[in-house]
Structure 1
Amino acid sequence: MISGSGWASGYPVKPVTLIVPQAPGGANDAVARIVAQRLGAVLGHPIVVDNRPGAGGNIGIQVAAKAPRDGYTLLLTVGSSFTINPSLYRKIPFDPVKDFEPITLVATAPYVLVTNPAIQARSVHDLIGLARSKPGKLDYASAGNGTLNHLLGEMLKAKAGIDITHVPYKSAAAAATDVVAGQVPITFGSLPGVMPFVKTGQLRVLGVATEKRSRLIPEVPAIGEAIPGYSAVSWYGLLAPAGTPKEILAQLHAEATKVLNSKDVQDKLAAQGAEAASNTPEQFRVLIKDDLVKWAKVVKDSGAQVD
């Protein structure tokens, strides 16, 4: 059934559009371009990245949901837009379960808990003890209400039973900069966003925001080691509009998995602070459904909402 350049169906016979619901230059855009370049080469036709930013990712995801169901428009989204936004926004223009066919997980990217080095905490246990000794006095910065690093902080509060105060910024970069400056003591940041500061000693990393350690930074403990049940994986995934022919979905899954298993793609993703990952469409669907439930509770408990 499989030939060197495609499957018996003849797909594709023209370029494929890959919608990225974030602006050029960000982490999701970088991951998408790495995957698009290699997957396009395997399929024998270019995959053209189409950035559709806005409304926290909702605009681009909606465009993909309403695209023709022919395999020529795909979506590569970051998990937070796909599974947090349905609980965060009063009105959401897509259904992440009904409107899409999962193809495969593409990569995961660890978020890390970092502090200003002046803070007397060298581990997650230290930080919890410090927060308990000063209820409500310890602040943490985020990229804004409802963002992933905000909700990671809220999850930390709930799981560790501590009282820390949220300080929203307009971007993750602004939040990290003020933690470096000592204006706010704590933040959660993406690995590529904060590691330059960690390497220069301007930030201290306490833990990875996962249940198990990341292979990208195995020397850093997982927060889940100190707080049982703490787990939040930031992921990137490839999807198609619901109703896309099954044989096309199967072809895309098979070819994307090969691409993600190649060392050069894994190395390129690692350089972006992401770890290549693939799974079956069924496993990916379960991940999406589980994340929708998990983040709905965190959003509700935090009181965050975007009109």
Structure 2
Amino acid sequence: MSRRTALSAIAGTLAGFTATGHAQTGTDWPNQAVRYINLFPPGGATDTLSRIYCAKMSEIVGQQFVVENRSGSGGVVGTDAIAKSRPDGYTIGLSSIASQSIAPTLYANLPYNAAQDFTYISGLWQLPNLVVVNNDLPVRTVPELIALLKANPGKYAYGSSGAGTTPHLSGELLKQMAGLDVLHVPYRGGAPALLDLIGGRVQLIMDNIPGLLPSARDGKIRALAVTSPQRSPVVPDLPTMAEFLPGFEMTSWGAVCGPAGLPQPVVERLSAFSKRALENPDLIRGYRELGATPWWTTPDALVAFRAQEEARLAPVIRASGARVE
């Protein structure tokens, strides 16, 4: 064997190992801590749901799943970090409706390709929005709300946690399906939007259940419906928007993904461990307390679902005029 051939063989062998010296086949994964990148700041619903999942995964797998918050640009910053990480299974993270199915239409220059730059593992949760109004608004049902807004074009406003979010798109979908003229007021997060709703500066919000339900239960705002196709077990007495506007659906979701090229054994083990975690009674209880439903999928089903969501939401985003250059 020539010296050059020998060096090439050594280089090829070394390429099959990670920095820690373990073969990248994934058959022994995980043999060290796993980093999970969350796309949003600490303390929010996605952060809490992610930590519940990671805690259960740590318990099942026997290695720590450590949450790292990498927020910014509606999840784009953290998602790009996942895409550019080493494909060895030791960096995974949150795949969300915002980053993977809304961003491809919303952003003119996205630093990643949602269809090509990731290995999709499993769904984690589905989380509907709650439709709430200011207490002074003279409506108690969705039909009454639609009638009031239709009779007063341009008079009322709905708030959201920012352009391109599911609260924003929920409002746009309502406008498009019911033929309404309602002003959109974007805020830097759900909390300031809620404060202005209580104060009467906006009259309507459709945001994730965890952020709105405590105020609704305290009587500070009035809840009318949920935006999921089925009623929520957290608020079973509330109807769905689809009961009045057939086909109305706007459900936030979270899934777990890694960079493109994860070894198949890692994908299979991550999928199987995730299924065990999502079927655990403690996790189910923790998710439902936040209004979320555990949601396991196969990797192939998640790939198809993400693409379907992008196609479904693209016309709503374009019609809204929202665009990030």
Distance 1:8 1:94, change over 3 A: closer
Give the structure 2 partner of residue 20 of structure 1. 38
Give the structure 2 partner of residue 3 of structure 1. none
Q: What is the rounded CA distance, in whole Å, between the counterparts of 2:190 and 2:29 in structure 1?
A: 40
Gaps of 5+ in 1: 1-6
Letter aligned with residue 138 of structure 2 = Q
Q: What is the rounded CA distance, in whole Å, between the counterparts of 1:171 and 1:252 in structure 2?
A: 32
Letter aligned with residue 46 of structure 1 = Q
SS in 2 for 1:107: strand
Please identify runs of 4+ aligned residues in structure 1 that moved more than 4 A: none
Give the structure 2 partner of residue 93 of structure 1. 111
If you compute each CA radius of gyration, which structure gives the higher value, 1 or 2? Answer: 2
After TM superposition, give the deviation of residue 8 of structure 1 in Å.
9.0
Letter aligned with residue 53 of structure 2 = V
SS in 1 for 2:94: strand
Where do residues 266-277 of structure 1 align in structure 2 (5 Å cutoff)?
266-277=284-295
Give the structure 2 partner of residue 143 of structure 1. 161
2:214 equivalent to 1:191: no
TM-score, with structure 2 as normaliser? 0.89
Q: Is the 8 A contact 1:212 1:225 kept in 2?
A: no
1:167-206 deviations in Å (ceiling 9; x for gaps): 2222211111111111211111211111111111111111
SS in 1 for 2:248: coil
2:135 equivalent to 1:117: yes
Letter aligned with residue 323 of structure 2 = Q
Give the structure 2 partner of residue 256 of structure 1. 274
Q: What is the rounded CA distance, in whole Å, between the counterparts of 1:59 and 1:276 in structure 2?
A: 25
**What number of residue pairs does the alignment pair up?**
301
Letter aligned with residue 255 of structure 1 = F
Q: What is the rounded CA distance, in whole Å, between the counterparts of 2:122 and 2:101 in structure 1?
A: 15
The counterpart of 2:145, out of the listed 123, 127, 130, is 127
Q: What is the rounded CA distance, in whole Å, between the counterparts of 1:217 and 1:278 in structure 2?
A: 22
The counterpart of 1:64, out of the listed 59, 70, 82, is 82
Q: Is the 8 A contact 1:18 1:47 kept in 2?
A: yes
TM-score, with structure 1 as normaliser? 0.94
User: Percent identity among equivalent residues?
Assistant: 34
Q: What is the rounded CA distance, in whole Å, between the counterparts of 1:152 and 1:223 in structure 2?
A: 10
Q: What is the rounded CA distance, in whole Å, between the counterparts of 2:120 and 2:40 in structure 1?
A: 19
Give the structure 1 partner of residue 185 of structure 2. 167
After TM superposition, give the deviation of residue 144 of structure 1 in Å.
2.1
2:209 equivalent to 1:201: no
Q: What is the rounded CA distance, in whole Å, between the counterparts of 1:214 and 1:184 in structure 2?
A: 25
SS in 2 for 1:31: helix
2:261 equivalent to 1:229: no
Give the structure 1 partner of residue 7 of structure 2. none
SS in 1 for 2:267: helix
Q: Is the 8 A contact 1:28 1:77 kept in 2?
A: no
Q: Is the 8 A contact 1:176 1:189 kept in 2?
A: no
Gaps of 5+ in 2: 1-24
After TM superposition, give the deviation of residue 275 of structure 1 in Å.
1.6
The farther-off stretch of 138-147 and 10-19 is 138-147
After TM superposition, give the deviation of residue 216 of structure 1 in Å.
2.2
1:27-63 deviations in Å (ceiling 9; x for gaps): 1111111111111221111111111111211111011
Q: What is the rounded CA distance, in whole Å, between the counterparts of 2:153 and 2:264 in structure 1?
A: 54
Q: Is the 8 A contact 1:152 1:188 kept in 2?
A: yes
Q: Is the 8 A contact 1:28 1:78 kept in 2?
A: no
The root-mean-square deviation of aligned C-alpha atoms, in Å, is 1.5
1:131-162 deviations in Å (ceiling 9; x for gaps): 11111212111122222211110011001111
Q: Is the 8 A contact 1:101 1:241 kept in 2?
A: yes
1:53-88 deviations in Å (ceiling 9; x for gaps): 112111110110011111111111332222111211
The counterpart of 2:29, out of the listed 1, 6, 11, is 11
Q: What is the rounded CA distance, in whole Å, between the counterparts of 2:27 and 2:187 in structure 1?
A: 49
After TM superposition, give the deviation of residue 273 of structure 1 in Å.
2.6
2:238 equivalent to 1:220: yes
2:73 equivalent to 1:55: yes
Q: What is the rounded CA distance, in whole Å, between the counterparts of 1:77 and 1:272 in structure 2?
A: 19
